[in-house]
């Protein structure tokens, strides 16, 4: 793993690494991000694996400008107004996913919405232009650690787990972006950050709703969102398939069934399974089965996050 000064050549190399499915840590004006090509589910899965996240939270998708953002999300007048006022900059807009949005479902945790941001940092912007693909990037810290504002922090958290850390000095703002839900008539603040509620109110002419707990610590993001929830009931640790059940398979073992089957990864690869999880739930749901029988997934690495997601789906 290497920390490299973010010159033109390093940025070009990092961009090809991203397109090849690799991970790149890069500076933004808020904090460092741990980026992957948002259109590749396997690359996004590798971000979750590196972060050690206990569950699949939706990630912010970074793009070079608002034109690219409009191809991925639906921009209502409210979103347009906020983008015009604060992009490039430390504001993340949650909008509906565009119909032909190329972003992997794992990056948006199976939601109908997508969080988009155009960062202002010149290195981030140059990287996004060179990469061409949209870049899903959570803050570049291990889950539960504080966000990284210097390349050295990223190195300390990830050691040899990521190939490239672009060093662009210290992040100016040092606080994550403000997250605003712009899908409704009124803006709703999902996370406080560098752009203030007052600035948003000034631009929109409406005081934003506050969709977090209002205290010093925003509510955990998972509480704010309802992830994709299958209509079908989910039965965990299935070792056989009942009449009328759909099978969410994992690995090479074949369970006897005449019903629909979706294999998350026939080779038993957890990264592939993570990348396919939401598509699998969705496609079995679409067959109309009442129950999705899920084969056991090993509780290691990304398996933990997959099992967390499945057990939430099963508890409803």
Give 176 or 304: the residue with its C-beta nearer to ligand TXA.
Answer: 176
Determine the straight-line distance between the first and last CA of the chain, rounded to whole angstroms. Answer: 42
User: Does residue number 225 form part of the binding site for ligand TXA (CB under 6 A)?
Assistant: yes
Exactly one of 39, 139, 149, 263 binds Mg ion (CB under 5 A); that residue is 139
Beta strands in 84-223 (DSSP E): 91-97, 113-117, 135-136, 164-167, 178-181, 188-191, 209-210
Shortest CB 129 distance to ligand TXA, Å: 16
Does position 176 interact with ligand TXA (CB under 6 A)? The reply is yes
User: What backbone phi and psi angles, to 5 degrees, belong to 158?
Assistant: -110, -15
Q: Which of 30, 40, 164, 263 binds ligand TXA (CB under 6 A)?
A: 30
Ranked by CB distance to Mg ion, the top (closest) residue is: 139
Task: Give me 259's structure tokens.
Answer: 């019903």
Residues between 187 and 206 with contacts to ligand TXA, criterion CB under 6 A? 190-191
> Are the C-beta atoms of 142 and 51 separated by less than 8 Å?
yes
What torsion, rounded to 10 degrees, do the Cα atoms 312, 313, 315, 316 define?
A: 120
Does 113 bind ligand TXA (CB under 6 A)? Our answer is: yes
Nearest to 107 by CA among 19, 46, 52, 18: 46
Task: Tell me how far, at minimum, the Cβ of 149 lies from ligand TXA, in Å.
Answer: 10
Report residue 213 as tokens.
């707990």
Cβ closest to ligand TXA, residue 190 vs residue 297: 190
139 binds ligand TXA (CB under 6 A): yes
Of 282, 295, 291, 280, nearest in space to 316 by CA: 291
Q: Which residues bind Mg ion (CB under 5 A)?
A: 139
Q: Which residues bind ligand TXA (CB under 6 A)?
A: 28, 30-31, 33, 57-60, 92, 94, 108, 111, 113-115, 117, 137-139, 176-177, 179, 190-191, 221, 225
């Amino acid at each position: 793993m290497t920390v490299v000064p973010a010159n033109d050549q390093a940025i070009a190399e990092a961009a090809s690494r991203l397109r090849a499915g690799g991970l790149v840590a890069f500076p933004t004006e808020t904090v460092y991000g741990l980026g992957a090509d948002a259109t590749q589910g396997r690359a996004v899965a590798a971000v979750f694996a590196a972060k050690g996240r206990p569950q699949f939270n939706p990630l912010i998708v970074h793009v070079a400008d608002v034109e690219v953002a409009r191809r991925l999300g639906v921009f209502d007048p409210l979103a347009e107004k906020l983008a015009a006022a604060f992009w490039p900059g430390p504001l993340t807009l949650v909008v509906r996913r565009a119909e032909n949005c190329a972003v992997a479902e794992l990056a948006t945790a199976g939601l109908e919405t997508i969080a988009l941001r155009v960062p202002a940092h010149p290195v981030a912007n140059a990287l996004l232009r060179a990469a061409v693909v949209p870049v899903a990037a959570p803050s570049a810290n291990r889950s539960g650690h504080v966000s990284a504002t210097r390349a050295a922090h990223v190195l300390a958290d990830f050691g040899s787990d990521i190939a490239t850390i672009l060093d662009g000095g210290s992040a100016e703002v040092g606080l994550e972006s403000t997250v605003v839900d712009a899908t409704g008539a009124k803006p709703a603040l999902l996370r406080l950050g560098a752009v203030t509620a007052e600035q948003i109110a000034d631009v929109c002419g409406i005081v934003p709703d506050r969709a977090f707990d209002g205290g010093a610590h925003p509510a955990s993001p998972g509480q704010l969102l309802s992830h994709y929830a299958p209509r079908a009931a989910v039965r965990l640790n299935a070792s056989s398939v009942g009449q009328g059940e759909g099978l969410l398979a994992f690995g090479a073992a074949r369970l006897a069934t005449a019903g629909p089957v979706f294999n998350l990864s026939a080779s038993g690869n957890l990264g592939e399974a993570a990348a396919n999880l939401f598509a699998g739930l969705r496609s079995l749901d679409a067959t109309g089965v009442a129950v999705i029988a899920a084969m056991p997934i090993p509780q290691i690495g990304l398996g933990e996050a997959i099992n967390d997601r499945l057990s939430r789906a099963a508890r409803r």
